[in-house]
């Protein structure tokens, strides 16, 4: 585990079968265009995500996501929490694509995620676990991270079948500039949460923020 700029780690070859990861990546192309939730540049990003609910995730991707949920224990990996658990509806994660194959200008503005779960208001976001599933990629896919001070900026590399995990907090800024034209950056994400007390709910009702807006 690396502690700077905030706790994060990577696990190579996380899924034992490369072929099922490949099948999951290929299944993105079967999702009809109108079935994606599309974020435009006015939201600080150009990115697609699957609609809410397991029924909107392809069987191949569900198999991979469920493997991550049942085989990753961030409490053990990081030693920072003792009560985290995955949301297997894959709210805030699931199938995600940053598109630029058709010159769509895909990017993800540097941001911190909302602390509280959008549906279960007494859940606090603890960890993000993101599997890299595109075999065709380049360095533009690498995730840029910092702790609010861009002098501490570094990158988490993108690599096929690599699981990238980071601890979520008010300082876990992350994003990526426009990816290379002609490529789509595909990922599968599992968010881990903890249960909050009523007092903590009031303190942690913090929405997603983009870095430029926070200055």
What's the CA gap between 20 and 150, in Å, rounded?
Answer: 37
Q: Would residue 27 count as lying in a domain?
A: yes
Residue 202 has a pLDDT of 67
Which residues, in sequence order, are CB contacts of 193 under 8 Å at separation 6+? 84, 85, 86, 87, 117, 120, 123, 124, 125, 126
Q: Would residue 1 count as lying in a domain?
A: no
Instruction: Please give the tally of structural domains in the chain.
Output: 1
- What is the per-residue pLDDT across 147-199, written as a single tens digit (0 to 9) for each? 999 999 999 999 999 999 999 999 999 999 999 999 999 999 999 999 998 77
Q: Would residue 2 count as lying in a domain?
A: no
Residue 207's pLDDT band, with cuts at 50, 70 and 90, is confident
Q: Write down the mean pLDDT value for the chain.
A: 93
Residue 175 has a pLDDT of 97
- What is the per-residue pLDDT across 91-127, written as a single tens digit (0 to 9) for each? 989 999 999 999 999 999 999 999 999 899 999 999 9
Percentage, residues of the chain above pLDDT 70:
95
SS3 16: coil
Q: Would residue 3 count as lying in a domain?
A: no
Structure tokens at 60: 């191949």
Residue 203 has a pLDDT of 66
Q: Answer yes or no: are the C-beta atoms of 184 and 90 closer than 8 Å.
A: no
pLDDT higher than 60, residue 215: no
Residue 213's pLDDT band, with cuts at 50, 70 and 90, is very low
- Smallest CA-to-CA distance from 164 within 126, 190, 183, 194 is with 190
Residue 197 has a pLDDT of 81
pLDDT higher than 70, residue 201: no
- What is the per-residue pLDDT across 43-93, written as a single tens digit (0 to 9) for each? 899 999 999 999 999 999 999 999 999 999 999 999 999 999 999 999 989
Residue 159 has a pLDDT of 98
Residue 38 has a pLDDT of 95
pLDDT higher than 90, residue 211: no
Query: For the residues of 154-198, what is the DSSP string, one character each?
Result: EEE---TTPEEEEE-STT-EEEE-PPPTT-EEEEEEEEEEEE--H
Residue 43: domain span: 8-214
The CATH number linked to 172 is 2.60.120.620
Which residues, in sequence order, are CB contacts of 44 under 8 Å at separation 6+? 109, 111, 210, 212, 213
- Smallest CA-to-CA distance from 209 within 178, 168, 177 is with 168
Q: Would residue 115 count as lying in a domain?
A: yes
């Amino acid at each position: 585990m690396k502690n700077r700029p905030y706790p994060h780690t990577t696990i190579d070859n996380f899924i034992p079968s490369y072929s099922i990861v490949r099948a999951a990546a290929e299944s993105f192309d079967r999702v009809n265009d109108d079935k994606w939730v599309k974020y435009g540049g006015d939201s600080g990003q150009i990115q697609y995500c699957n609609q809410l609910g397991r029924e909107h995730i392809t069987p191949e991707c569900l198999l991979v996501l469920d493997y991550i949920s049942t085989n990753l224990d961030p409490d053990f990996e990081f030693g920072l929490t003792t009560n985290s658990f995955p949301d297997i509806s894959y709210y805030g994660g699931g199938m995600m694509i940053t598109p630029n194959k058709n010159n769509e200008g895909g990017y993800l503005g540097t941001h911190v995620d909302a602390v509280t779960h959008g549906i279960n208001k007494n859940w606090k976001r603890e960890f993000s676990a993101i599997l890299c599933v595109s075999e065709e990629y380049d360095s533009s896919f690498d995730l840029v991270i910092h702790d609010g001070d861009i002098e501490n900026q570094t990158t988490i590399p993108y690599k096929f079948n690599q699981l990238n995990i980071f601890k979520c907090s008010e300082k876990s800024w992350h994003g990526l500039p426009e990816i290379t034209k002609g490529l789509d950056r595909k990922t599968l994400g599992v968010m881990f949460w903890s249960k909050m007390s009523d007092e903590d709910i009031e303190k942690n009702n913090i929405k997603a923020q983009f870095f430029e807006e926070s200055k």
